[in-house]
Structure 1
Amino acid sequence: MVTKTQLLEFIQHDSYRPLSMKDLIKVLGIGPEERQAFKKLVKSLVQEGEIVETREGRYGAPGRMNLVVGYLQGHPDGYGFVVPKEKGVPDLYIRARNMGGAFHGDLVVARIEKREKGGRLEGKIIRILQRGRHIMVGTYEAHKGYGYVIPEDPKIPYDVHVEKPDSLGARDGQVVVARITEYPHRRRNPIGEVIEVLGDRDTPGIDEEIVIREHELPVTFSPETLEEASAIPEELPAEELTQRKDLRHWLTVTIDGEKARDFDDAVSIEILENGHYRLGVHIADVSYYVQEQSAIDLEAYQRGTSVYFPDRAIPMLPPKLSNEVCSLKPREDRLTVSVLIEFTPRGDKIHYDIFESVIRSRERLTYTLVRQILQEEDPKLVEEYKWLSPSLQQMRDLAQVLYEKRIRRGSLDFDLPEPEIILDLQGGIENIVRAERHIAHRIIEEFMLAANETVASHMSWLNFPTIYRIHERPDEGKLSDFEEFIRRLGYTLRGAAAIHPRALQSLLEQVKGKPIERLVNTLLLRSMKQARYSATNEGHFGLASECYTHFTSPIRRYPDLQVHRMLKKTWVGESYTPDRLEQLEAWLEEIAEHSSVRERVAMDAEREIVAIKKVKFMQDKLGEVYEGIISGVAAYGLFVELKDLYVEGLVHVSTMYDDYYHYQEDNYALIGERTHKIYRLGDPIKVQVASVNVPRRQVDFLLADGGKPRRRGQRPSALTTQG
């Protein structure tokens, strides 16, 4: 039987011409007993967008047929972009009239119809392969005999028509969930039926419920999964303990956030007789409990990752596993996979070992507690934990050495503030503060990076299939634009086409502590590609690492669990034929792609709930004036992020009454036609809160007196101070 990989290679070959199903079967020599399975394979590849079926029933590679297959990213104004599945293909712009009834998130086939100067492509959607959403969350607007569901997601430009009998008794203004029964066609809106009424807009907890439904996040586990989990014994089997290295006498600890309950990792450290460090990273052995193709495994695969909101978590694994038998709770025996690494005082790795183990964590430490001991040297805590202080000091010293070594090799360290939402007992927003990042975070970050790199390089050296965490080189065009912009600021960045991350890290160090630091960090981050999972090792550009994986969080990330399984396969001693290895790699690539998608869904949901909380926080602040930074510039206005609150809003160009402003894309600026005032990305500015729209996740600002736009020829300190 022809495999998926073989069929794709055949169709993508330069000599291939589109063939019918009958011709494919004949050319590839598919026997009668294999034809049904082969037809199913071809149809699945069409459904996934890997190949395209023409109107004449012939099959070909989309890239060679002037077609693009990808996911549609919608815009509130009705147009969108098709983000291609194929690497290296630019996004395809789709006008509103050429959307073909597609929604944001749909997998579509689009025909390229125009190639503009500068490489921008424009096209038309000709086929919808998979619908990205089947339900819609929104506000119900009641009319006589019917109603509309106005979507929460601003990227959906359609209201959903609902007949009154299908409204489930929803009242005007309530938040509902509607199932789409007919998708939009030409000028007709989608039709749906209300399947759930979430409540009024001010119902406690409704923000989380909206995001959960909007992203179709699974909250409850299936009965089969819960039944399997309940059958897992809490006591460790004596026979299993005899087959593992017993590290229960070692001084191991966990360091996590105050609210954490799923403890994936524990760490230990020791100074050897030769003066070297021996770092121990001990990871929960989830693969021992979760068997492949079990109900727990299948549901974990579908979820892909845990999702974290300010007031709750949606775990990948049932609580019996995530919070109990797998969690490395203090003073309890736990099964682990340990990575021991010997480092010189300069941070050079000279030896490592990876094996199954059993540990007993001595203490559950928090980031705050470790900071108070190591940085603040709190006398009471130092005395209470004097039995642990030497180990913590050694961890601090090694982490600093590893960090400095990583930065020297070119690993990018973006210093951008992250907001933390502080909730009151009722779940309301009490404050928004900058999330802390200090020595305790660095200890865990560096140790996990070291373990992940060690496992990745080990699997690569064995040449055995696994899942890697890859970060591809930046898009050459975006990096060239970034290079041009910083050149105007007085900095150079040579060789964008073949740039090494060390050059970018050097730039970040040059601007550190200067007024333009945040601007440069933001623009460089925007020019980067998104890290993803892959069965092919392509290195990690952002970490300047030749080989990287995710191994250290199997309780909350499915790829980590799979890496554990692949690692264990290398210990069994089973031989694998080339065909079996190829099948294994193809299977892992499917897992990697699915996990990357689920990761993006989780990230979008986490960002959205934070955005809702931020907007709600601003509801009672109308008319107040704040200092901010211009965080984005577009033809229609300025995006401004408030200092200290990290809330972003828009100053629409129509409210900038003193002049007509023109957008200069190359300069990231709006420039006044008459006054020559210039508002540029990164400039400080004062704004007044004008309006807040929670359903649209939107805060509008007005320019306030005291904002200091500059005149042409006047270069502000934010752009001229280079120290």
Structure 2
Amino acid sequence: MHFTIASLLANFSEDKFVAPKVLEKKLGCDDPESQRELEIALDALERIGLLIKERGKYRRTSDDGLIEGRLRCSSKGFCFAIQDTEGAEDIFVREHQLSTAWNGDRVLVRVTREGRRKKSPEGEVKLILERGNPSVIARVKQTEDGFRAIPLDDRLLFEIALEPNDLVPDLSTVVDQLVHVNIRRYPLGGYLPIGEIGQILGSDAQSAPALDLICCKHNLMRQFSPAVRTAAATLNAQLATLDLSDRQDLRELVTITLVAPGQEPQVAFSLDPIDAHRWHLGIHISDVGGLLPRDELLDRTARRLGMTLATPELSLPLLPQELERLRLLPGGDRAAISLLIVINTAGEVQSYRIYRSCIRIDACVTSEQVAATLALGDSSGDWLRALIHLANAVSEQRQARGSIEVTPADALSLAYADEGLAPAIPLPRVTPWTSLVILANELLARHLAKLGVPALYRTQPVPELYAVQDFLKLCQNLNLPLSLDNPSQVTPHDYQRFMAQLATSDLAAVLQELLLDKLKPASDAAAALPHFSLATGEGYGHFCSPLQRYTDIVNQRILHILLTEGRDRRGPRAKERVNLGESSCLEQVNWTVFTTDTQREVDTLLNELVPHLQERERQTYTAWKDLVGLQRVRQVQACIGEVRSGIITGVQSYGFFVELIDFNVEGLVHVSSLKDDWYEYRAHAQTLTGRRNRLRYRLGDRVEVLIKNVDSYRQQVDLAVMSGGSQATEEDLNGASDNGEALPPSEDDAPENL
């Protein structure tokens, strides 16, 4: 279909009917075939009771018995529906109750048996909302019934019937080859799914090109369709003659775009002194949200992609390069959202004002050119030095409240450029002016939050205490005594201090990455919630990367609504008006700035977008992490048979995990390879201890390991320990607790003979 059931249902609410014509526009159903698909889907959803139809329009009906989740299956056929709500129970789904759903599909499940004791509730799939595998990597085999594709992912428990196409007219030529298969039809009744080959990857996953493997595995779109590129060229021509007279004219400001590697030219700066201690700082953002036509082809494409994947090896843009007029480059006027700030030399904001503006870019400067200019040491770098001084002062203000902005080791690149060190989509390098981008995001989001305006706010929960405590135990065993200020909670100040302390260790790159891995992912929410890494609870959001994230486009559109349609006075009889773009209005406004209809429209839009954008971010991050992991594992693969150093990062009953210091890759030493003794697992102490030799393997122990085998596709490294570990004491052998008290073996702590 041209749309998913999930995207269709996202357009409905229980209190408002929607006409099919409205759905056709929102979903891009502009041809008879897609319109017929929409008609069939609406009819089916009405029949199963998810929609109610009246006078040709539809609305959603509630069914508390149906639970939405994403299906996660094991290679043995055990499947669970994982709910999005944190802490919600996973629902076990038996194989005969999957209703042709696959691993990764988003589904609606009806609970058939409530959970009890330690057993999960059971359920059955009633509806597949969105397929998680529009394509698969598979190996071709020939059977009596024809040619079949066997997925390489052993969690996909099915075969695909292959049909010839223009790329592979004779399927016998690709038997035993690894291929990328596009699914043309999913299972129907007792019939197999049908697919066709989109790309031939070679004889095995170990030798297939890394970029091809990742793009196929995650179904990444490496180029835009001709229709999208044509639409982009058409819009770009229209923008060249766009009338910007209704915007604030800021063309007299000297405005320079600064661009880091992997970033789009979408943020520019102006800087003028007021007096010896204050500056007029301008942060100008490309107004993609105001210029990109809503619900048309380009907008639907950007919404579907969600965000850019940018690495040194691979760049998958959000919008086509033909949209040059959306990029803040010299030559002609540009539409922008401008934030003009009065700021002192200590980095303290005194006031600001938000404009829909018209600007003119005087220069576009890369980070390399910035470094070269500053290296000259002459007056040509004065403007840049002043800007970077302000950026450093702003960063120091944030760090004083606890924001995690300690520069990690060079081997790490786990951060948004504008979101501290939260593990998320990476950009190659945090630039000196990044702090000002974070400032703009903070001010704009806080402005909306204090006015009670709904938007896509950014939130990050506090890390799990037990996960951080495990890391501290690892560091303690490495003779790095780190501790929490308050043993019962984790704070941003703790992380800030840990990052600084670890920077002096010879294992800085490994340990800092392990520490950052304990952070929970940041995500979008329709309410202003705390953000751990940035140490703020007043609201944070993304506005400054509209050419790389759809979230920023949405937030820019909400700013437009505020500035052009917001209620700037209490009521029609009130004489005094306030400027809703000025910081001073936050002390004056005590009324709702959006009308009831506008508020409802924005709320509906956000409720529709939040799950989709969260899922797209998760998928993009997974693809990036997969690419980095594949590149690292292939380096390990070249060293099979060699002995390398590592530290133990996890201990389980079946063995222990070792982080290879030279590669930042984790491998497993399986307990079956420990043949020198009989090892017991103690869960409380997280150790494997030999009965006779008293050799102990625990968190943080240094070991020398032999690289035995590498599966690069699954990114699994098999290791064998050669030396290392530590000697257990009598206290350890007697099961003593951390405070020296003898503990009786409990059900969880009883040693397990291996």
| Preserved CA contact (<8 Å) 1:282 1:337 | yes
Equivalent position of 2:342 in the other structure? 342
Residues 326 and 334, structure 1, Cα contact 8 Å, conserved in 2: yes
State the Cα deviation string for residues 324-347 of structure 1 (Å, max 9, x = none).
Answer: 222223566533222222322332
Task: Quote the Cα distance in structure 1 between the aligned partners of 2:385 and 2:428.
Answer: 18
The aligned runs of 1:178-189 (5 Å cut-off) are 179=183, 181=185, 183=187
Please name the residue that 2:20 is paired with.
Answer: none
Match of 1:18 in 2: none
Q: Which amino acid in the other structure matches residue 326 of structure 1?
A: L
Whether 1:647 and 2:665 are equivalent positions in the alignment is: yes
Distance 1:87 1:614 in 2: 31
**Partner SS for 1:73:** strand
Q: Which residue of 1 aligns with 2:674?
A: 656
Rounded Cα–Cα distance in structure 1 between residues aligned with 2:269 and 2:654: 51
Pair 1:216 & 2:219 matched: yes
Q: Distance in 2 between matches of 1:702 and 1:184?
A: 46
Query: Structure 1 residues 269, 577: closer, same or farther in 2, change over 3 A?
Result: closer
Aligned to 1:544: 535
> Residue 206 and residue 713 in structure 1: after superposition, are their counterparts in 2 closer, same or farther (change >3 A)?
same
Pair 1:41 & 2:64 matched? no
- Aligned counterparts, 1:414-453, within 5 A: 417=409, 419=411, 441-453=430-442
Partner of 2:727: 711
Q: CA deviation at 1:253?
A: 3.6
Counterpart-to-counterpart distance in 1, 2:95 and 2:500: 44
Q: How does 1:564-643 map to 2 (within 5 A)?
A: 564-573=556-565, 576-643=594-661
* Contact 2:476–2:482, Cα closer than 8 Å, also in 1: yes
1:181-218 deviation per Cα after TM superposition (whole angstroms, max 9, x unaligned): 56599xx9965444334241479984333332332333
Residue 80 and residue 648 in structure 1: after superposition, are their counterparts in 2 closer, same or farther (change >3 A)? farther
1:71-82, aligned counterparts within 5 Å? Answer: 71-76=70-75, 78-79=77-78, 81-82=80-81
CA pair 271-60 structure 1, distance change in 2 beyond 3 A: same
Q: Distance in 2 between matches of 1:407 and 1:280?
A: 22
What letter corresponds to residue 443 of structure 2 in structure 1? T
Aligned equivalents of 1:558 and 1:436: distance in 2?
16
Deviation digits for residues 51-102 of structure 1, max 9, x if unmatched? 5xxxxxxx3255xxxxx54213334455455431234425557788997865
CA deviation after TM superposition for structure 1 residue 675, in Å: 3.0
State the alpha-carbon separation in 1 of the partners of residues 472 and 88 from structure 2: 22
Alpha-carbon contact 2:146-2:161 (below 8 Å) kept: yes
> Per-residue displacement from partner, 1:538-586 (whole Å, max 9, x unpaired)?
1312211121000010001001011111111122135543243123212
Q: RMSD of aligned C-alpha atoms?
A: 4.2
Aligned residues of 1:306 and 1:316 also touching (Cα < 8 A):
yes
Written as runs of structure 1 = structure 2, the 5 A alignment for 1:123-202 is: 123=122, 125=124, 127=126, 129-130=128-129, 131-142=131-142, 146=146, 148-153=148-153, 156-160=155-159, 162=161, 168-169=171-172, 170-177=174-181, 179=183, 181=185, 183=187, 191-201=193-203
Q: Give the unaligned 5+ runs of structure 2.
A: 1-10, 17-45, 414-425, 568-593, 733-737, 739-754
1:594 Cα deviation after fit = 1.3
Distance 1:235 1:619 in 2: 51
Taking the aligned partners of 1:238 and 1:124, their CA distance within structure 2 comes to 55
Contact 2:147/2:171 (CA < 8 Å) preserved in 1? no
What CA distance in whole angstroms lies between the structure 2 residues aligned with 1:211 and 1:570? Answer: 41
- Return the letter of the residue paired with 1:34: E
Q: Offset of 1:681 from its aligned partner?
A: 3.4
Query: Residue 4 of structure 1 corresponds to which residue in structure 2?
Result: 13
What amino acid is the match of 2:175?
R
Q: TM-score normalized by structure 2?
A: 0.74
Identity of matched residues, % = 26
User: Do structure 1's residue 252 and structure 2's residue 256 form an aligned pair?
Assistant: yes
Distance 1:518 1:94, change over 3 A: farther
Cα displacement string for residues 513-533 of structure 1 (whole angstroms, at most 9, x for unaligned residues)? 357877875665455432111
TM-score (norm 1): 0.76
Q: Aligned partners of 1:399, 1:454: CA distance in 2, in Å?
A: 15
**One-letter amino acid of the counterpart of residue 82, structure 2:** V
| CA distance 1:629–1:278, shift in 2 (3 Å) | farther
Pairs within 5 Å for 1:86-485: 86-91=85-90, 102-108=101-107, 109=109, 111=111, 113-116=114-117, 121=120, 123=122, 125=124, 127=126, 129-130=128-129, 131-142=131-142, 146=146, 148-153=148-153, 156-160=155-159, 162=161, 168-169=171-172, 170-177=174-181, 179=183, 181=185, 183=187, 191-201=193-203, 206-231=209-234, 232-233=236-237, 236-237=240-241, 239-240=243-244, 243-247=247-251, 249-257=253-261, 260=263, 262-321=264-323, 324-330=324-330, 333-371=333-371, 381-382=375-376, 386-413=378-405, 417=409, 419=411, 441-474=430-463
**Structure 1 unaligned runs (5+)?**
8-20, 43-50, 52-58, 63-67, 375-380, 422-434
The answer to whether the 8 A contact 1:621-1:689 is kept is yes
Q: Distance in 2 between matches of 1:452 and 1:79?
A: 43
Q: Is the 8 A contact 2:644 2:704 kept in 1?
A: yes
Task: Answer whether contact 1:253 1:268 (CA < 8 A) is retained.
Answer: no
- The whole-number CA distance in structure 1 between the counterparts of 2:506 and 2:689 is 21
Identify if the C-alpha distance between structure 1 residues 708 and 110 changes in structure 2 by more than 3 Å, giving closer, same or farther: farther
Task: State the match for 2:707 in structure 1.
Answer: 689
Partner amino acid for 2:348? D
Amino acid in structure 2 at the alignment position of 1:561: I
Residue number in structure 2 paired with 1:47 = none
* Residue pair 1:148, 1:159 contacting (<8 A) in 2 also: no
TM-aligned CA deviation for residue 630 of structure 1: 2.9
- The AA in structure 2 aligned to 1:594 is H
| In 2: Cα distance, 1:518 partner to 1:673 partner | 35
Is contact 1:140–1:174 with CA below 8 Å preserved after alignment?
A: yes
**Structure 2: how far apart are the matches of 1:475 and 1:645?**
27
Instruction: Give the drift of 1:248.
Output: 5.4
C-alpha separation between the residues in 2 aligned to 1:110 and 1:415? 48
Q: Which amino acid aligns with 1:533?
A: D
8 A Cα contact 2:290 2:556, kept in partner: no
Structure 1 residue 436 displacement after superposition = 11
